[in-house]
Chains A and B, each alone.
Chain A
Amino acid sequence: MSQATTVAPASPIAGVGRLLRSPLTARIASYLFLLVAWQLLSLYEDRFPPPADVFGFLWIEVTGGSHGGIVRGEFLEHFAATLPRFTLGIAISMVLGIVSGVVIGGSKIAEALLKDTLLMLVALPAIIWAFLTQMWLGLGDTAVVITTFLSAFPFVAVNVVQGIQAVPRDLRRMSGAFHVSSYRRVRHLLLPAVTGYLFAGFRFAVIIGWNAVLLGEWFSSSEGVGYQARYWYDANRYKGFVAWVILFIGFIVLIDRVALVPLQRRAFRWRDTQVKQAQRRVEGIDVAVTGA
């Protein structure tokens, strides 16, 4: 018996239904929900500034306008002070994190010696480093950079250790059987196998490091994003404080979406192909089941 397949024409109602169920709509809805909840909270609590006030303040900060003729918006200056400290702290964390991760992951003795120390460092909150570096080094850039480095570094190292230890044994033995050179093994086996873990470590480092830079500047600096948040907090201007916190969060979300996610997508092209292939197979089964 022959099988006839009919395809229904796309109706406008079905199109609207699909749009409502899309991930983009869900994301927009979550932002709207937060805004509404925030607005409602501000109606009942004076110390919770309404969104309009905060975004008005933000606008003045970003455009360099004036807050009632007293203080000028200084967004660019303070971000320009924070970014080099953050970048340097993260760069040192990455280099030392990768080196120590390779050593600990590749040697049983190094693992026995250092892994517990590394786990202790992971458990230590950034605020402790912010206090300690201010006690050791006083005010200035160095304390902030060191705080950022010490907070982010263990996350990179722990992920690299896991990555090194997860290199498939079968592929290592295959490389041994074909006498593949050490250079090729590092380039084509070790690095790609570790890339996923390295990305996870890098994302953690960026997020933890950004928090650490805020804390470092809160305690040890007279300029920067963290210092500004503290300035408005000390001045009892809640909308200023919340505005700088929003700038702080917005920056990290932007970095994640604009730089980290596309980079990760590119590095995992091979894995995405695998997922797409599996999806196609599942769709194939669906079609077969529907047609049966």
Chain B
Amino acid sequence: MATLRVEHLNKTFPAIERGSDATTAIDDLSFEIGGHVFVSVVGPSGCGKSTLLNIVSGIETATHGSVSVSEDGSPARLGYVFQEPRLLPWRTVMQNMLYVLEGEDVPDRARDYLRMVGLDDAGGKFPAQLSGGMQQRVGIARAFAVEPDLLLMDEPFSHLDAITARSLREQLQGIWTEAKKTVLFVTHDIAEAVQLSNRVLILAPGGRLFADLPIELPYPRKASDTEVAMAQAELLRRFEEMQEETDAARATDVAS
């Protein structure tokens, strides 16, 4: 299992138009995760959650600071589940799996993970022949099939209907428990973060770390469990605290 170390990370996007200001997406962010953990990053829109995942995966570069992902000292393998399935529409489900996999046991591995998400018979189908929920399950199977040391998930259920998302959340807990991966999960849904994670990082606007909270509840968890509802209420209270602080800081800025 991997260790992800984020130290004094800063990401600033240059101004798009002349006269406008540069945007700070992440500001002096530091944290470390490792082992069989499911860590969620929650925060309002535009607080740099997806940017953080993109920097960790290497799609984007940091302005300052450092990010390192290692597995016992050597570079770690990463998997990524995006907001949308991002499947190649002209390739079948099985070909989409094979596109990202390396190694000798690749077809078997692809079949195993498709079975794990309940899509054993879908290998020969094109993405357009599957529902949105099934396509997202292929995206999840693809990321797990890489057998990553660190799995990055960027609001993977936000585009799905409530019933499909609920079923996939329960399925994901089972897969994570079985596959024993380190997961960094981005969401703006507090209920989802509480149901899935054993640690939650709250990011404030501007990409500042506001709180780092453990969720010590046994798995599997259901959204309707009383303990989950209580943990949700506590997290929501901290979230509101963060919003009040942000509003107060903004008011002071305007006054000065």
1/0 per residue, CB under 8 A from A, across B151-193: the answer is 0100000000000000000000000000000000000000000
Contact in complex: B58, A178 (CB < 8 Å):
no
Given A180-B100, A270-B128, A273-B126: A174 and B95 interface contact (C-beta under 8 Å): no
- Chain B hits for A171, CB < 8 A: 86, 88
Q: How many Å from the CB of B144 to the closest CB on chain A?
A: 12
Closest to A195 in B: B90
CB distance A178 to B88 under 8 Å?
A: no
Q: Say which residue of B57, B126, B128, B129 sits within 8 Å of A177 (CB atoms).
A: B57
B80 proximal to A (CB < 8 A): yes
**Interface assignment of A107: CB less than 8 Å from any CB of chain B:** no
Structural contact, B82 and A170, CB atoms closer than 8 A: yes
A159 to B100, CA, bound (A): 29
With both chains docked as a complex, state the minimum distance between the C-beta of B161 and any C-beta of chain A, in angstroms: 16
Which chain B residues border A184 with CB–CB below 8 Å?
99
B59 touches A (CB below 8 Å): yes
B95 neighbours in A (Cβ, 8 Å): 188
B115 beta carbon closer than 8 Å to chain A = no
Given contacts A180-B100, A270-B126, A277-B128, contact A192 B90 (CB under 8 A): yes
Say whether A270 contacts B90, CB under 8 Å.
yes
- Residues 232 to 248 of chain A near chain B (Cβ within 8 Å): none
Interface residues of B in 108-157 (CB under 8 A from A): 126, 128-129, 146, 152
Q: Which chain A positions have C-beta within 8 A of B220?
A: none
- With A171-B86, A171-B88, A192-B91 as contacts: A178 and B129 at CB distance below 8 Å: no
| Interface members, chain A 157-199 (any B CB < 8 Å) | 170-171, 173-178, 180, 184, 188-189, 192-193, 195
| Contact partners of B84 in chain A: CB under 8 A | 170
Is A188 a contact partner of B86 (Cβ separation < 8 A)? no
| Contacting pair A174 B82 (CB below 8 A) | yes
Q: Are A274 and B86 in contact (CB under 8 A)?
A: no
Contact partners of B146 in chain A: CB under 8 A:
178
Query: Which residue in B59, B89, B128 is a CB contact (below 8 Å) of A173?
Result: B59
Contact between chains at B59 and A274 (CB < 8 Å): no
Interface check B78, CB cutoff 8 A: yes
Chain A contacts for B79, CB-based, 8 A: 178
A177 contacts B90, C-beta separation under 8 Å: no
Residues of chain A from 62 to 91 with CB closer than 8 A to chain B in the complex: none
Per the bound structure, the CA–CA distance linking A193 and B88 in Å amounts to 9
A181 CB to nearest B CB, Å = 8
Are A277 and B129 in contact, CB atoms less than 8 angstroms apart? yes
Question: Chain B contacts of A170 at CB under 8 A?
Answer: 82, 84, 86
A144 to B88, CA, bound (A): 42
| Contact (Cβ within 8 A) A188 B128 | no
Determine the distance from Cα of A280 to Cα of B87 in the docked complex, in whole angstroms: 22
How many chain B residues touch A (CB < 8 A): the figure is 21
- Contact A177 to B80, CB < 8 A, known contacts A270-B126, A273-B129: yes
Nearest CB of A to B70, in Å: 16
Q: Compute how far the CA of A189 lies from the CA of B91 in the bound complex, rounded to whole angstroms.
A: 9
Enumerate chain A residues within 8 angstroms of B57, measured Cβ to Cβ: 176-177
Number of A-B contacts (CB under 8 A): 57
A residues near B86, Cβ cutoff 8 Å:
170-171, 173-174
Whether B58 and A188, one on each chain, are in contact in the complex, defined by CB atoms closer than 8 angstroms, is no
Decide if B78 touches A177 in the complex (CB within 8 Å). yes
Bound-state Cα–Cα, A170 to B128, Å? 17
Q: Which of A189, A193, A273 contacts B128 (CB 8 A)?
A: A273
- Write out the residue numbers on chain B whose beta carbons fall within 8 Å of the beta carbon of A270: 89-91, 126, 128
Give the one of A171, A177, A188 with max B CB within 10 A: A177
Q: Which residues of B contact A176 (CB under 8 A)?
A: 57-59
Which residues of A are found within 8 Å of B58, using beta-carbon distances?
176-177
A128–B82 alpha-carbon span in the complex (Å): 52
Contacts of B80 in A (CB 8 A): 174, 177-178
Smallest CB-CB separation from B139: which chain A residue?
A: A174
Cα A176 to Cα B91 in complex, Å, equals 18
- A274 lies within 8 A of B100 (CB): no
Neighbouring B residues of A173 by C-beta, 8 Å: 59, 86
Chain B contacts for A193, CB-based, 8 A: 90
For window 58-76 of B, CB contacts with A under 8 Å fall at 58-59
Does A188 contact B89, Cβ atoms closer than 8 Å?
no
A171 to B86 CA separation, bound complex (whole angstroms): 6
Q: How far is the CA of A180 from the CA of B86 in the complex (A)?
A: 14
Q: With CB as the reference atom, state the residue of chain A lying closest to B125.
A: A273
Q: Known interface pairs A177-B59, A273-B128. Does A188 touch B91 (Cβ–Cβ under 8 Å)? A: yes
Q: Report the 10 A-B pairs with minimum CB-CB distance, sorted nearest first.
A: A274-B128, A178-B100, A192-B90, A177-B80, A174-B86, A270-B90, A177-B57, A270-B126, A273-B126, A170-B86
Known: A174-B86, A270-B126; 8 extra A-B contacts, CB below 8 A, are A171-B86, A173-B86, A177-B59, A178-B78, A178-B99, A180-B99, A270-B90, A277-B129
What are 9 sample pairs from A and B whose C-beta atoms fall under 8 A apart?
A: A171-B88, A175-B100, A177-B80, A178-B79, A178-B80, A184-B99, A189-B88, A270-B89, A274-B126
